[in-house]
């Protein structure tokens, strides 16, 4: 029979939710969280293990609000660390605002010899891994941030390591598709 509808069992639930209105979340509704760790040699303080969390992507007009939403959850996790001058900042790239990013950076003394290429032998990220860190900082997903619900997942196609582990903070579709923009 020409024009027959597919069986409902063969459809993805996400497709069903959006089929009636034709909306999908725009790509800018996903934020990229990079967890980086390295050993640096400070001429005054000696060897330091540095934890850097950088958040990119998302709508440019929501970057300040996302900084305000993430900061109160991230900063208490780093008790015992020294915040760097690049901590809890919105770094604005004036020539291209879409390349602006959010950054948190913490340091802790490193005891031992400088490892090859400054790659730490073990993670000092609270919780030991980005997944546990996110769970402890925000609770189980979905989590409310900046008036929206988000979930996280490891970025596909990248092998996680101590020196770089990338996660995606994805907006969860609400009832009837993407929620209205205020």
Whole-structure pTM value: 0.78
pLDDT for residue 93? 86
pLDDT for residue 94? 83
**Beta strands 82-83 and 101-109: pairing type?**
antiparallel
With cut-offs at 50, 70 and 90, classify the pLDDT of residue 79: very high
Encode pLDDT of 45-63 as tens digits. Answer: 999 999 999 999 988 889 9
Rg of the chain on CA atoms, in Å: 20
Residue 67's nearest CA partner among 96, 85, 50, 91 is 91
Under 8 Å between Cβ of 118 and 50: no
Under 8 Å between Cβ of 29 and 178: yes
Lowest-confidence pick of 10-19, 82-91, 169-178 = 10-19
pLDDT higher than threshold 60 for residue 177: no
pLDDT for residue 182? 42
Encode pLDDT of 129-149 as tens digits. Answer: 999 999 999 998 899 888 889
């Amino acid at each position: 029979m020409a024009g027959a509808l597919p069986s409902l069992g063969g459809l993805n639930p996400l497709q069903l939710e959006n089929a009636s209105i034709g909306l999908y979340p725009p790509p800018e509704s996903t934020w990229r969280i990079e967890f980086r760790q390295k050993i640096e040699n400070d001429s005054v303080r000696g060897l330091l293990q540095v934890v850097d969390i950088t958040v990119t992507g998302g709508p440019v007009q929501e970057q300040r609000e996302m900084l305000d939403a993430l900061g109160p959850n991230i900063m208490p996790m780093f008790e015992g660390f020294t915040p760097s001058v690049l901590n809890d900042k919105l770094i604005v790239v004036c020539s291209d605002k879409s390349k602006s990013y959010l950054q948190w950076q913490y340091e802790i003394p490193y005891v031992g010899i400088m490892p090859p290429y400054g790659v730490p032998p073990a993670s000092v990220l609270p919780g030991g891994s980005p997944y546990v860190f996110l769970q402890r900082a925000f609770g189980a997903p979905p989590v409310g941030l900046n008036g929206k619900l988000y979930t996280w997942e490891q970025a596909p196609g990248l092998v996680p390591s101590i020196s770089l582990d990338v996660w995606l903070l994805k907006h969860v579709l609400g009832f009837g598709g993407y929620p209205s923009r205020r």
